[in-house]
């Protein structure tokens, strides 16, 4: 056994690296003496848990003073499994990842009920990322802020330094470094000591009004982790052919652009040169003074029938769709042909969820072609259930505005009410309804709607006249934000608001409350045993794969469970049953 000592915030800590079967007995004694709680962490060969060559290398356990590193790839799994099952409480930093690793590699399930995740605690204390002026939520960032900056810069940087010394990419060094390397053993063991100290430090700092969210956020993390582990079945044949087709479209369109004198459609200068040679003026400039050729300009020229602009747009779109999405699906799928999304249930300041891997929130709106890549399981069909006008109903509930609430009760057209109050068409009324929630000003609305700034101001005034309590709510939230630096949501979440952007308070309040309503729906589905059928949460929508012969019944049940009443306003759902592919919900048959 190798033993290392370090000083963390003035006190000495010890890391024990097990190297023989005899060493394990000392670890067992340590485990028995710490049955109340221990921090846990894993070291693996990479981050892609479900790839064929993924391996678990070590499992670590520790408290605030001492850590043990178990080389499961060398000495077997049983000591780690026994410790995981016997300890009453387990502390993790980003539990979702480690618990999926432990289930995939050790077969250990059912640990969520005794987990404390320091990443969740940190987000409840300060939900802002580092770039927003917050502490950040990585172990390194939290260590630097709450525990010991020298340890954060030193120990947490060991693997980066090792990668530089060995001229190995950081992503590969975890798989190739020898277990006996002192830096590797020290790095692995220190994580549990830091997580243990963070748990002790962070728990009292969670605002009193946010304490109930600790358990619910852990439960939501479990739901999302189940969806990640289940994965989404990929239609490999279709996806492969689509990749080839997009490549052909890209090559053809780039060839057409070259015929107009543009060798590189991604070169703004070359595109601008050709456009001006074709008689198009480019009046706008970038901050650097270069000609501005953006999506707005190109789309307008395509609508005018310009063939060169069409070739540029088509080539760029085909390349983006292929490289950003389609080829990525083929690369990341596991041996069973499933893609496993990475779902972060606490991504934004407002706690809004995000998805990578299968970036459902950023796919082209209304498009079936990319979504067609994914299938319901054999004998099943896709079901989509989304909330009805969720954010506007949340706004009606939060503001208590009687006109808005009445409109929802009577199924009146809220967008037409706004339009009529301002003398504009319904499309602009709808745009302003949502833009107001997002905190957009007259200039932004004017650009989005293609109207003058004065008209945009008039529509905003019409909105505020139609729904006076919404304006009052916005003013109250801005007042609180200026006074306290944050606002509190009805769900107990504390949201910092930048002093120079108090107008964002209304957007934060609505977005965060909407997210928590969706989260509540997911947890009710989990309690009902429906989680194994869930595939993705997409803002206010839940996507599921259900048995075909029970699809209508299942969709109705999911919709009923997701429905809720918030401050007296009913927030209903719209269940939809599709075919075998996700794309069927967007107009494409399997």
Q: Are residues 398 and 385 in the same domain?
A: no
State percent of the chain over pLDDT 90: 82
Which residues, other chains included, contact 324 with Cβ-Cβ below 8 Å and sequence gap of 6+? none
Please give the share of the chain, as a percent, with pLDDT higher than 70.
Answer: 99
Phi, psi of 380, deg, nearest 5:
-125, 165
Q: What is the mean pLDDT of residues 505-512?
A: 96
Model pLDDT, residue 589: 67
What's the CATH number where 406 sits?
Answer: 1.10.150.20
pLDDT band at 590 (very low <50, low <70, confident <90, very high): low
**Both tokens assigned to 425:** 């068409």
Residue pair 470/464 in contact by the 8 Å Cβ criterion: yes
Mean pLDDT score, 450-476: 85
Burial tier of 495 (Cβ tally within 10 Å: 0-12, 13-18, 19+): buried
Do 27 and 163 have their domain in common? yes
Distance of CA 34 to the CA centre of its chain: 35
The answer to whether residues 244 and 114 belong to one domain is no
Same domain, 153 and 163: yes
What length is written for the chain? 590
CA 363 to CA 400: how far, in whole Å? 34
| Domain total of the chain | 4
Q: Is residue 8 part of a domain?
A: yes
Q: What's the CA gap between 348 and 326, in Å, rounded?
A: 26
Can you list the pairs that 56-60 forms with residues at least 24 positions away whose Cβ atoms lie under 8 Å? Answer: 56/101, 56/102, 56/104, 56/105, 56/106, 57/174, 57/179, 58/179, 58/188, 59/83, 59/84, 59/102, 59/106, 60/188, 60/189, 60/191, 60/192
User: 499 and 569: one domain?
Assistant: no
* Residue 351 pLDDT exceeds 80: yes
What pLDDT was estimated at residue 573? 97
pLDDT, one tens digit per residue, over 526-562 is: 999 999 999 999 999 999 999 999 999 999 999 999 9
Asked whether the beta carbons of 42 and 94 are under 8 A apart, the reply is no
Any idea what the CATH number is for the domain that residue 533 is in?
3.30.70.370
Expressed in angstroms, the distance from the first to the final Cα of the chain is 58
Token pair 């606490």 is found at 346
Greatest CA separation for the chain: 83
Q: Report if residue 226 sits inside a domain.
A: no
* Residue 220 within a domain: no
Shared domain check, 248 and 127? no
Is residue 83 domain-shared with residue 32, that is, in the same domain?
Answer: yes
pTM: 0.93
Smallest Cα–Cα separation from 326: which of 448, 429, 431, 236?
236
123 and 271 belong to one structural domain = no
Domain that includes residue 438, residue range: 391-512
Q: How far apart are CA 75 and CA 511, in angstroms?
A: 49
Would the pLDDT of 232 be above 70?
yes
Same domain? For 193 and 288 the reply is no
CA–CA gap between residue 321 and residue 364 (Å, rounded):
9
Last residue of a domain, one of 169, 190, 206: 206
DSSP output for 417-438: HHHHHHT--HHHHHHHHHHHHT
Q: Tell me which of 206, 225, 243 is where a domain ends.
A: 206
Residue 450 has pLDDT above 80, yes or no: no
- The tens digit of pLDDT for each residue in 55-86 reads 999 999 999 999 999 999 999 999 999 999 99
């Amino acid at each position: 056994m190798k033993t290392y000592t370090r000083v963390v915030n003035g006190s000495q800590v010890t890391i024990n690296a097990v190297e023989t079967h005899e060493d394990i007995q000392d670890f067992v004694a340590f485990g028995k003496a710490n049955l109340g709680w221990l921090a846990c962490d894993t070291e693996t060969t990479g981050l892609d848990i479900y790839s064929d060559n993924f391996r678990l290398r070590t499992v670590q356990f520790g408290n605030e003073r001492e850590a043990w590193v178990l080389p499961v790839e060398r000495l077997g799994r049983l000591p780690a499994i026994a410790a995981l099952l016997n300890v009453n409480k387990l502390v993790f930093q980003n539990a979702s990842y480690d618990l999926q690793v432990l289930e995939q590699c050790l077969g250990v399930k059912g640990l969520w009920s005794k987990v404390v995740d320091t990443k969740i605690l940190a987000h409840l204390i300060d939900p802002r990322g580092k770039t927003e002026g917050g502490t950040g939520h990585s172990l390194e960032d939290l260590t630097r802020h709450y525990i010991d900056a020298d340890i954060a810069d030193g120990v947490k940087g060991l693997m980066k330094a090792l990668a530089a010394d060995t001229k190995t990419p950081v992503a590969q060094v975890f798989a190739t470094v020898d277990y006996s390397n002192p830096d590797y053993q020290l790095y692995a063991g220190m994580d549990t000591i830091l997580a243990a100290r963070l748990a002790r430090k962070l728990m009292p700092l969670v605002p009193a009004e946010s304490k109930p969210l600790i358990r619910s956020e852990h439960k939501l993390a479990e739901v999302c982790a189940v969806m990640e582990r289940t994965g989404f079945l990929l239609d490999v044949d279709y996806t492969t052919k689509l990749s080839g087709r997009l490549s052909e479209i890209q090559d053809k369109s780039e060839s057409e652009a070259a015929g107009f004198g543009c060798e590189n459609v991604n070169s703004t200068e070359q595109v601008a040169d050709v456009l001006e040679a074709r008689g198009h003026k480019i009046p706008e400039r970038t901050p650097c003074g270069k000609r501005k050729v953006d999506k707005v300009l190109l789309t307008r020229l395509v609508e005018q029938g310009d063939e060169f602009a069409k070739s540029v747009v088509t080539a760029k779109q085909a390349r983006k769709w292929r490289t950003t999405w389609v080829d990525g699906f083929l690369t990341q799928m596991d041996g069973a042909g499933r893609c496993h999304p990475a779902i972060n249930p606490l991504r934004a300041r407002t706690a809004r969820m995000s998805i990578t891997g299968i970036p459902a929130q950023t796919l082209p709106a209304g498009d079936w072609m990319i979504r067609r890549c994914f299938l319901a399981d054999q004998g099943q069909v896709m079901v989509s259930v989304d909330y009805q006008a969720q954010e506007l109903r949340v706004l009606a509930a939060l503001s208590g505005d009687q006109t808005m609430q009445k409109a929802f009760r009577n199924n009146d057209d809220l967008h037409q009410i706004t339009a009529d109050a301002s003398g504009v068409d319904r499309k602009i009324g709808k745009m302003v309804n949502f833009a107001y929630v997002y905190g957009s000003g007259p200039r932004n609305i004017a650009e989005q709607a293609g109207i003058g700034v004065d008209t945009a101001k008039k529509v905003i005034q019409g909105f505020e006249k139609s729904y006076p309590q919404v304006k009052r709510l916005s003013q109250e939230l801005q007042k609180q934000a200026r006074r306290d630096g944050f606002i509190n949501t009805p769900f107990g979440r504390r949201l910092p608001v930048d002093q120079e952007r108090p107008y964002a308070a209304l957007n934060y309040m609505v977005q965060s409350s909407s997210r928590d309503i969706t989260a509540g729906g997911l947890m009710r589905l989990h309690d009902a045993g429906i989680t194994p059928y869930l595939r993705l949460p997409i803002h206010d929508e839940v996507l599921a794969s259900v048995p075909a012969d029970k699809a209508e019944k299942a969709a109705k049940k999911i919709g009923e469970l997701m429905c809720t009443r918030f401050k007296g306003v009913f927030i209903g759902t719209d269940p939809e049953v599709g075919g075998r592919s996700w794309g069927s919900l967007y107009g494409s048959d399997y």
